[in-house]
Amino acid sequence: MTPSFPALTIMEAKIRQLTEKDLERALQVFRRSLDHEASAYLNSCVHCGLCDVSCHYFLTYHDLESMPAYKLKLVTDVFKGHFSRLGRTLPGLIGAKKLDHAMIRAWLDSLFGRCSLCGRCSINCSIGINITQLIRAARGALAAIGLVPPGLQSTVDTAIQKGNNMGIPREDWLETVEWLEEELQAEVDDPSARLPLDEPDVNLFYTINPREAMFFPLSILAAAKIFYAAGESWTFSRENYDVTNYGLYSGDDAVAGTLSNRLVESMLALKAGTLVLAECGHGFNSNRWEAPEWLSKHYPFPVKSVLEIVADYIRDGRIRLDPSRNSKTVTLHDPCNLVRLGGIIEEQRFILRHAVADFVEMTPNREKNYCCGGGGGQLAMTNFAERRLEAGRIKADQVRATGAEVVVTPCHNCIDQFMELNKHYQLGIEIKTVCEMVAEALILP
């Protein structure tokens, strides 16, 4: 049998092998993930279809499968088919369905392959359904039967097995820190400047996206330079420095909790004051908002984005900036997990207004901004890469309309997507983090 969805070809063998027992296990996991909130949402959709224009996939393809209401319907149909008396009695009336092989294919194609969990549909829903939450719950059911698309699953597995999602060996990390420390000392002309490791009793415990260590070490250097200029007491961990958490995207709460708990344990061991999350959208949402729920515990320390810290430095006069050093026209992309789902909305703007000479907003912006297409684990799921790039056209057009030469975004997933969009749509832009712009404008003491 030919798969209904070409992008799923590499997963078709696994789908065919699914037994009734597997499907039952997926259902159990799905059921366990539902609480009264999810149940309320699952009873609420009126199929008005107004959400369609809020989704960058729908705006690209204009097809049913990309409509948020349809993606939600795939989940509600199964909910009604298995957990609603009416759905079991009169399935045809309300469209209740069983979780079978065909539905699994549809879930994989739409819930993994046409959704970046950006949450834009939720704020645009006529009713107010948190569609993202429900799609993630369904992803969790697929994760329980080994049906997370391979690229995403391997990212999760690497993080679990190696301690970070890039599989960076400990020695390499320590060498990178050592090298960056020398760079910092040279740059600030101070041999006592440091990138501390496992320093106890500091104010800030700083985390990074491992992509920074592998491909963008200058963004680590930028943050270190800012901390140096502010006279901050801070530290990295030798072991647990990875801010990312792809369990958020695979939907596997247990794995996600395990990954986030590593940072909690290091925080407690080092008795640091604040857990500071690097410029990583999903890392922020995971560790600031979701992890306390995955772990069912109140954190005994504050969790902040590095943007909040830097904004405070500027407000408190701990660092001084010269915006003329960033003279090109700069625009800002709002990462969905940091802004719409994370609540960090104005800090980056406040910082950029002090760090760059010419700042222009995209339209729309802030919590209404379009997803760049890189979220939801899309960058890791190579089988959906074509869609990701096509759906990124919305963002490319948004950037073009600003006339900006530099796109700043406080998220490394977004940066990766922008690098590809830059090439694919020939945008001719530079892509930077907020800290890189600040470091450039920094007036050293």
Q: Minimum distance from CB of 47 to another protein (Å)?
A: 5
315 binds another protein, rule: CB under 8 A: yes
Q: Is 253 a binder of another protein (CB under 8 A)?
A: no
Q: Does 322 contact another protein by CB under 8 A?
A: no
Q: Does 339 bind another protein (CB under 8 A)?
A: yes
278/284 Cα distance (integer angstroms): 8
One residue of 2, 161, 296, 324 binding another protein per CB under 8 A: 296
> Quick one: which of 61, 73, 52 has its CA closest to 121?
52
Range in contact with another protein (rule: CB under 8 A) among 44-52, 168-176, 216-224, 239-247: 44-52
Give the shortest CB-370-to-another protein separation in angstroms.
10
Cα separation, 421 vs 390, whole angstroms: 9
Q: Please tell me whether residue 15 binds another protein under the rule CB under 8 A.
A: no
Binding flag, residue 256, another protein (CB under 8 A)? no
**Residue 346 makes contact with another protein by CB under 8 A:** yes
Residue 43 sits in the site that holds another protein (CB under 8 A): yes
CB of 440 to another protein, least distance (A): 19
Number of residues in contact with another protein under rule CB under 8 A: 70
Structure tokens at 426: 């020939």
Cα separations in angstroms, 12 against 8, 18, 108, 273: 6, 10, 11, 48
350 binds another protein (CB under 8 A): yes
Residue 28 touching another protein (CB under 8 A): no
**Which residues from 71-130 bind another protein, rule CB under 8 A?**
73, 86, 90, 92-95, 122-130
If binding is defined by CB under 8 A, does position 354 make contact with another protein? yes
Give the residue from 394, 335, 398 showing the smallest Cα distance to 367.
Answer: 335
Contacts of residue 240, defined as CB under 8 A and 6 or more positions apart, other chains included, come to 163, 207, 262, 263, 265, 266
Candidates 292, 360, 382, 440; binder of another protein (CB under 8 A) is 292
Residue 42 vs 177, nearer CB to another protein: 42
Binding mask 363-382 for another protein (x = CB under 8 A): -x-xxx--------------
Distance in angstroms (rounded) separating the CA atoms of residues 276 and 197: 15
Structure-block tokens of residue 118: 């950006």
Give the pair of three-digit tokens for residue 315: 């407000």
Complete DSSP assignment for 152-202: HHHHHHHHHHHSSTT---HHHHHHHHHHHHHHHHHHHT-TT----BS-TT-
CB 160 within 8 A of CB 255: yes
**Shortest Cβ distance from residue 167 to another protein (Å)?**
29
Rule CB under 8 A: say whether 170 interacts with another protein.
Answer: no
Nearer to another protein, 21 or 36 (CB): 36
- Say if CB 138 and CB 75 are below 8 A apart: yes
Whole-number minimum distance, CB 106 to another protein, in Å? 13
Residue 268 interacting with another protein (CB under 8 A) = no
> For 295, how many CA atoms within 13 A lie in the half-sphere containing its CB?
20
Task: Report the distance separating Cα 153 and Cα 246, nearest Å.
Answer: 8
Q: Which stretch binds another protein (CB under 8 A): 6-14, 51-59, 199-207, 324-332?
A: 51-59
For residues 136 to 155, the per-residue mask of contacts with another protein, x marking binding by CB under 8 A and - elsewhere, is --------------------
Please write down the long-range contacts of 366-370, taking CB distance under 8 Å and 24 or more positions apart.
366/334, 366/339, 367/123, 367/334, 367/339, 367/340, 368/120, 368/123, 369/333, 369/334, 369/336, 369/339, 369/340, 370/56, 370/120, 370/394, 370/395, 370/398
Residues in Cβ contact with 238 at an 8 Å cutoff, skipping those fewer than 6 apart? 170, 173, 174, 197, 198
Asked if 38 interacts with another protein (CB under 8 A), we say yes
Q: Contact with another protein (CB under 8 A): which of 114, 225, 262, 288?
A: 288
Residue of 26, 45, 180, 310 that binds another protein (CB under 8 A): 45
β-partners of residue 276 are 206, 304
| Nearest to another protein of 38, 404 (CB atom) | 38
Q: Is 16 helix (H, G, I), strand (E, B) or coil?
A: helix
Q: Per CB under 8 A, does 39 bind another protein?
A: yes
- The answer to whether the beta carbons of residues 285 and 246 sit under 8 Å apart is no
Contact residues toward another protein (CB under 8 A) are: 34-41, 43-54, 62-64, 67, 69-70, 73, 86, 90, 92-95, 122-130, 288-293, 295-299, 302, 314-315, 339-343, 345-346, 349-350, 354, 364, 366-368
